[in-house]
Structure 1
Amino acid sequence: MVKITCCSDSKVNVIVYIIVILFGMGSWVAVNGLWVELPIMVPNLPERWKLPSYLTVIIQLANIGPLLVTLGYLCCKNKVNEKILIYSILLIGTLACVLLAFFWDTTAYVFGEEHSVALFALDFSLSVVDCTSSVLFLPYMALFHVNYMTALYIGEGLSGLLPSLVALGQGVGKVSCQNLSIVNETTNISSYHVQSIYQDVSFPVEYFCFFLCGMMLVCGLAFTLLNYLPYCKKEHLTQKACTGTELYEFNNKAESSVKKRSNNISPAQIAFYLSLITVINSLTNGILSGIQSYSCLPYGNDAYHLTVTLSKIANPVVCFMALLLPVTSTILIASFVTMGTGISVYIILMASQSPTPWMYDEPVGPPLMISAWVVMGSLMTFSKVSIASVLRQEGKTALMWCGAVTQIGSLIGAIISYVLVNVMTLFESAPVCS
């Protein structure tokens, strides 16, 4: 049996560790994959570049899934069967990916306007699956030693990285601009305009959806191996079937053990950390997600695509850095969030000036905007991981509140983004070619 020794002097089975990573990769792969595929979808859908703001709201509405599971834990903790629920959401996610391949561009008229109803419905299903995985995968991992928890987080990071890499290979968003001459038959005067021509990608959206389906199947296979393969079951903390009662008792013991090692963070500090988490998620998961196209497209289609892809790549890298270089200083964490918020303000200001923001026609403009998004995302991700590590010292209750304000902040940001983009129409899309 291949083992490695971690810093806590506990041995970890390398093969089981990799299987846990594969299991974690199914957590957000569908939503992340759909997001990086938007440059191909948008030209074929009626919402055009308002589509991200719609999808942001849909993702937040999908929090009904984790809410119901959380209520189940609180009201019927002895009857919640994580295994059945995980298999259920993986099945729903797999079927939704298959249906997405066939119906992603199906539209219908709603209240007199054409909308991508099939995409919205399937995105809601995938979002429910991914959001609910956050409150199911973590309790399930209590069956394993705590060192295997890092494998789950690495898998979650890869759930954003792998679809981005596949999208890069697909050639998402490559556009060529062509000058066209139009002759007015009445005046016989020629006029010129620039037309954007989307280049053929390596494979269509349908194949990408089947890739996402394959990722969900890999997650389900990994989960099955962790449950029933004797080689993996040797790494279980108990050989008994993990019922809801046993898991609840195990979590209580673990929480008591954590509290003994607590640094006695004051309630004011906890409230401050939770407020930072609210701000971070309101910006990253809500406001900025809805206006990303308005901030990046004025600098070119390549700038938009690189921003989305590099941000996904930076996420797991920053999570790994947070494990190697843990930060517990309140002042330092607050400084990171402040810097990230300042960069966010810059991004919002540039989006409000679309289609002609500052330096949009200068060579330094695109690298500056791409760097702003990557640095902002890195600062916010590092801060979130650091805050979660600090709150972990206060036990399960503090982490529960951390998860709650994460969803509250994301919902607030999504509502603000929707109002600004679709109600107040403060942002104007930039043409791909100018």
Structure 2
Amino acid sequence: MLNNHPSQLDTIPTSTNQFHLKAIVYVLVIIFGLGTWTNLGGLWVELPIIVPILPESWQLPAKLILIINAANIFPIIFVFASIIFKLNTSIFEIPVNYIILLASTALAIAFACLWNKTEYLFGTNQSIYLMYLCFFSAIGDCLSSTTFIPFLHRYEPFYLNAYFTGEALTALLPALLGIIQGIGKSECTMLDSKINGTFIQVYRPPRFSVRTYFLILSSLPIAAFLAFSGLYLMKTGRMEKKISIKKSKHHQSRVFILMDNNIEDMHAIQNTIKTINKIENQLENNKKKNQWTTIITSETVIYLFVTFQQSMMIYGICPGLTTFSLNAYSATTFHYTIIANSFACPLMTLVGTFIPEVSSKTIGAFLITHIGLFVYIVLTAKMSPCPPLVSTILGPAIIFFVWILIQLIGSYIRILMGNYFRKTKDHRGLVWFSLATQTGALFGSLTMFILTVNVQLFKERNICDNASQCF
């Protein structure tokens, strides 16, 4: 009697194992996402510690952000070249991903060893090694955006969310490590009581060094490399390749059937095919012309300008103002504001998932608020070394929340613009969106570099110099 009933025991382990394998792939994709932007994200968290040590001092962020944005042009050139020459980049994705992950690991170790090495150049000591490392890290990180995500097109769509989770963690994990590390302390110590009571600034290091920080951080690209190797070897989660019978552009299989039955009509059929070809080619040419004319509409131009302007402020100018706007209050304000800003983009990415679109009036309100916050940040930087309310508890609190809000609103506006171009202009719109983002960031960083390094519009604050005290 028992043999008459089919056993269900064999089906349960199979489905359970399949679920477990998919869960493993999901985790591997998250870890794979950790392979991008960790080095530069970690460097930005370390700025409050390295700025007082390196010879560029408060001008360092303006120089670094220009180098990073300049390096970002190379991936854009690569994308346009692949479009113009119709290159099949899929065959390069796997080897390039391996190279990027290995290079990211090597660069993290190089950051640990060379971040404070300087060379005498153009009459002053300069952090040449750090700048070279930033340049090559930026090339690799931006290039990863053109190879990591396309690699995941082999997988089921929901795995892409896992990758974005990993990308968000590249901002959170360096920030959390920075919280554990701490900021250290700067104290004023009397150099010699006999010489007019001269004071010098003495820096007390944090819980562990910058070298240790980057060595710990190098574990993230190593983990991403191992996860990518696992994904390459496993087949779970990949979409099945559909076997399709190749058909010609005009369904010639039907024509061949007619030809088999009516050989005498071959000449007439061939003329018909030529006529169809001419009509379809004309329609395709008209379609291409319409794509170029419809993409440049009034709303599109406005949103492209918004993207350019927001990128110029949030990615070009603001990073170069961090020292003058924040460090003038205190190193502690600088440190914890930079760390808190690392949480802004992942948080707004989550918000953008649930609220991907808002009305144009809401976008306008966001823009006005964002510009107002930006003006206050520029004002505090221009008034350095004595920004508003610098000697009170309220001043650091206000500037902290201003920086958090400008990052939150700026990140959300960028998400809204990206969703708009993806929805209304498809792939071509995303290309224009990326181009406006990059050119805006580059223009902003170049402007900031000129104002900070060449014009020297902003001034540092020496907490031990009585002449720079704010009363």
Q: Tell me the TM-score range normalised by the shorter chain.
A: 0.7 to 0.9
Partners of 1:349 and 1:117 in 2: CA distance: 31
Q: Is 1:182–1:192's contact at 8 Å kept on the other side of the alignment?
A: yes
How far apart are 1:176 and its partner, in Å? 4.2
Q: Deviations over 1:304-351 (max 9, x none)?
A: 011100000222112111112332322212321221121011101110
Q: Which residue of 2 aligns with 1:200?
A: 205
Q: Which residue of 2 aligns with 1:37?
A: 46
Does 2:102 match 1:91? yes
Q: Is 1:92–1:125's contact at 8 Å kept on the other side of the alignment?
A: no
Q: How does 1:253-272 map to 2 (within 5 A)?
A: 267-272=297-302
Q: Which residue of 2 aligns with 1:119?
A: 130
Q: For residues 267 and 84 of structure 1, do their structure 2 counterparts lie closer, same or farther at Cα, with a shift above 3 Å needed? A: farther
Q: How does 1:33-72 map to 2 (within 5 A)?
A: 33-72=42-81
Q: Which residue of 1 aligns with 2:417?
A: 387
Identity of aligned residues (%): 30
Does 2:374 match 1:344? yes
Partners of 1:119 and 1:56 in 2: CA distance: 12
Q: Which residue of 1 aligns with 2:399?
A: 369
Q: For residues 159 and 67 of structure 1, do their structure 2 counterparts lie closer, same or farther at Cα, with a shift above 3 Å needed? A: same
The runs of 5 or more residues in structure 2 that have no matched partner are 1-14, 243-293
Partners of 1:235 and 1:122 in 2: CA distance: 36
Q: Which moved more, 1:419-428 or 1:34-43?
A: 34-43
User: How many residues are aligned here?
Assistant: 396
Q: Which residue of 2 aligns with 1:249?
A: none
Q: Deviations over 1:22-41 (max 9, x none)?
A: 22222211111011112222
Q: How does 1:86-235 map to 2 (within 5 A)?
A: 86-171=97-182, 173-178=183-188, 180=190, 182-184=192-194, 190-191=196-197, 193=199, 195-229=200-234, 233-235=235-237
Partners of 1:15 and 1:270 in 2: CA distance: 42
Greater radius of gyration (CA): 2
How far apart are 1:13 and its partner, in Å? 4.3
Tell me which amino acid in the other structure corresponds to 1:350: T
Partners of 1:371 and 1:27 in 2: CA distance: 28
Q: Which residue of 2 aligns with 1:301?
A: 331
Partners of 1:397 and 1:352 in 2: CA distance: 40
Q: Which residue of 1 aligns with 2:355?
A: 325
1:410 to 436, 441, 458: 441
Q: Which moved more, 1:173-182 or 1:323-332?
A: 173-182
Q: Which moved more, 1:299-308 or 1:381-390?
A: 381-390
How far apart are 1:270 and its partner, in Å? 2.3
How far apart are 1:228 and its partner, in Å? 1.8
Partners of 1:403 and 1:273 in 2: CA distance: 12
Q: Is 1:298–1:356's contact at 8 Å kept on the other side of the alignment?
A: yes
Q: Deviations over 1:344-370 (max 9, x none)?
A: 111011100000011111110001000
Partners of 2:414 and 2:30 in 1: CA distance: 20
- SS of the aligned residue for 1:339 comes to helix
Q: For residues 343 and 83 of structure 1, do their structure 2 counterparts lie closer, same or farther at Cα, with a shift above 3 Å needed? A: same
Partners of 1:356 and 1:375 in 2: CA distance: 22
CA RMSD in angstroms comes to: 2.5
Q: Which residue of 1 aligns with 2:279?
A: none
Q: For residues 119 and 340 of structure 1, do their structure 2 counterparts lie closer, same or farther at Cα, with a shift above 3 Å needed? A: same
- SS of the aligned residue for 1:388 comes to helix
Partners of 1:62 and 1:266 in 2: CA distance: 28
Partners of 1:66 and 1:78 in 2: CA distance: 16
Tell me which amino acid in the other structure corresponds to 2:237: E
Q: Which moved more, 1:328-337 or 1:371-380?
A: 328-337
Tell me which amino acid in the other structure corresponds to 1:62: A
Q: Is 2:62–2:319's contact at 8 Å kept on the other side of the alignment?
A: yes
TM-score, normalisation: structure 1: 0.85
Q: Is 1:290–1:414's contact at 8 Å kept on the other side of the alignment?
A: yes
The runs of 5 or more residues in structure 1 that have no matched partner are 6-11, 241-263
Tell me which amino acid in the other structure corresponds to 1:118: Y
Partners of 1:62 and 1:432 in 2: CA distance: 35
Partners of 1:65 and 1:84 in 2: CA distance: 18
Q: Is 1:300–1:432's contact at 8 Å kept on the other side of the alignment?
A: no
How far apart are 1:79 and its partner, in Å? 4.9
Q: Is 2:188–2:463's contact at 8 Å kept on the other side of the alignment?
A: no
Partners of 2:300 and 2:240 in 1: CA distance: 33
Tell me which amino acid in the other structure corresponds to 2:69: Q
1:25 to 34, 56, 61: 34
Partners of 2:61 and 2:191 in 1: CA distance: 33
How far apart are 1:225 and its partner, in Å? 2.1
Partners of 2:34 and 2:364 in 1: CA distance: 30
Q: Is 2:25–2:236's contact at 8 Å kept on the other side of the alignment?
A: no
